[in-house]
Amino acid sequence: MFERLIEAEKRFERMEEELSDPAVMRDIERYTGLLKERASLEPVIAKFREYRKAKSDGEEARALLDTERDPDLLEMAAEELEAAREKEARCEKELKILLLPKDPMDEKNVVIEIRAGAGGEEAALFAGVLYRMYLMYADAERYKTELVSANETELGGYREITFMVTGQGAYSRFKYESGVHRVQRVPVTESSGRIQTSTATVAVLPEAEDVEVEIDPNDLEIETIKSSGAGGQHVNKTESAIRLLHKPTGIVVECQDERSQYKNRDKAMKILRTRLLDMKTREQSDRIASERRSQVGTGDRSERIRTYNFRESRVTDHRIGLTMYTLDSFINGDIGAMIDALATADTAEKLKNGGLSDGE
């Protein structure tokens, strides 16, 4: 690890020189690339220098203990040695985390698809609760959201709803939400007060760039349709909604949020690229040995990941065994602490699985 850090520091110092070169500054593409690389290395190099300073302070304190005879100075040196050792160990641990391979998808925007599962109308209402929860969290974190399509029920729930979240690091925060979410509560449709268990599935997909997924226009079947609202009634008379069929995979995408057919088509193509990238990524992931895969971040959509119990005001994430008794604030978008805990567990799992090995 330290050999890699020494090489990284040399590279960092070379970049510092290059960035001050007027010829490099005139080459906008090269200059921007160097700035980006420098920004990614800076926290690692800063921590490495902090580690070396702690190590040097410890060696000086050790030398003083070996040569000094004054009791007061010996006591001071012993305290400095202990502090330096603690700092050195802490910096080494933090360096290991900083050197973990970054998920290349983490900085991407995301497409989130929520579908009602078991439980009929109650499942659809719960899908609406999840949608509102994510909108409120995104707003608090200053992400932008855009509705893509929705199949709304008469009571205001959703059989399915698709929306986009845009902003730096959106995928890094939302990726842990993929899976089956279970709710236990008395439905509004239940007159006898019995608790019902219902489910909704959440899929979080990193948005695909145009260059990542190539689509042959001959593989597409494009249909214009009328947009519809709750219960299927038409909300306008123009055929502005778009339905895309990708014939090789059978993937169907509908977009009806915009009044412009062109904008709906553009959004639908983004969603199609994103689903095709997700399909490709999952095929690659399936080929990875299970012991080398993070157990927290896989986002298996068939896995029950969380239970929301309204009677006990409890939310439990089954992947890390964390229970919070703050359900009211949680479904109002206060989910950051849960996401932080999942990210921490994910990092710990990667460290345990040897995430620092070359080629990871």
Q: Is the pLDDT of residue 288 over 90?
A: no
Residue 359 has pLDDT above 50, yes or no: no
266 inside domain: yes
What average pLDDT does this structure show over 326-337? 96
Give the 3-state secondary structure of residue 247: coil
Q: Which of 78, 98, 118 is the last residue of a domain?
A: 98
Question: How confident is the model at residue 231, as a pLDDT?
Answer: 44
Residue 176 — φ and ψ, nearest 5°?
-75, -5
Are 186 and 331 in the same domain?
yes
Same domain, 59 and 161: no
Mean pLDDT across 172-199: 87
With a CB cutoff of 8 Å and minimum separation 6, the contacts of 1 are 95, 96, 99, 356
Identity of the amino acid at 289: A
Using one digit for the tens of pLDDT, what is the confidence trace for 106-150?
888 999 999 999 888 999 999 999 999 999 999 999 999 999 888
Is the residue at 186 inside a domain? Answer: yes
**pLDDT of res. 219:** 83
Kindly indicate the confidence band of residue 296, based on its pLDDT and cuts at 50, 70 and 90: very low
Res 210: pLDDT: 56
Residue 295 confidence (pLDDT): 39
pLDDT at 259 (0 to 100): 65
66 and 126 part of one domain: no
Whether residue 177 is found in the same domain as residue 232: yes
Q: pLDDT digits over 1-19, tens only?
A: 778 788 888 989 999 999 9
User: Mapped to the 3 state alphabet, what secondary structure does 93-112 carry?
Assistant: HHHHHHCCCCCCCCCCCEEE
Q: Is the pLDDT of residue 355 over 60?
A: no
The residue whose two tokens read 């593989």 is 219
- Quick one: 320 and 252 in the same domain? yes
Strands 304-309 and 251-255: what pairing? Answer: unpaired
Residue 193 has pLDDT above 80, yes or no: no
Structural domains in the chain (count) = 2
Cβ atoms < 10 Å from Cβ of 107: 14
- What percent of the chain stands above pLDDT 70? 84
Classified as helix, coil or strand, 110 is strand
Residues 24 and 115 both lie in one domain: no
Per-residue pLDDT band at 347 (split at 50, 70, 90): confident
Residue where a domain terminates, one of 98, 128, 158: 98
Q: Which domain holds residue 231?
A: 110-350
Residue 103 placed within a domain: no
The model carries a pTM of 0.65
Residues composing the chain: 360
pLDDT confidence tier of residue 215, bands split at 50, 70 and 90: confident
Same domain? For 154 and 202 the reply is yes
Same domain, 53 and 181: no
Using alpha carbons, select from 308, 305, 311, 307 the residue that is nearest to residue 190.
Answer: 311
Residue 265 — pLDDT band, cuts 50, 70, 90?
Answer: confident
Both tokens of 60, joined, read 């000086």
Q: Looking at the domain assignment, is residue 206 inside a domain?
A: yes
Cβ of 199: how many Cβ atoms within 10 Å?
19
Average pLDDT of the chain is 83
3 state DSSP class of 58? helix
Packing angle of the helix pair 336-352, 71-98 (nearest 10 deg): 100
Based on the fold, state whether residues 94 and 193 are members of the same structural domain. no
195 lies in some domain: yes
Please indicate whether residue 158 or residue 220 has the higher confidence score (pLDDT). 158
Nearest to 138 by CA among 161, 100, 112, 103: 112
Q: How confident is the model at residue 218 (pLDDT cuts 50, 70, 90)?
A: confident
Residues 224 and 274 in one domain: yes
Residues 223 and 266 placed together within one structural domain of the fold: yes
Which CATH number is 59's domain given? 1.20.58
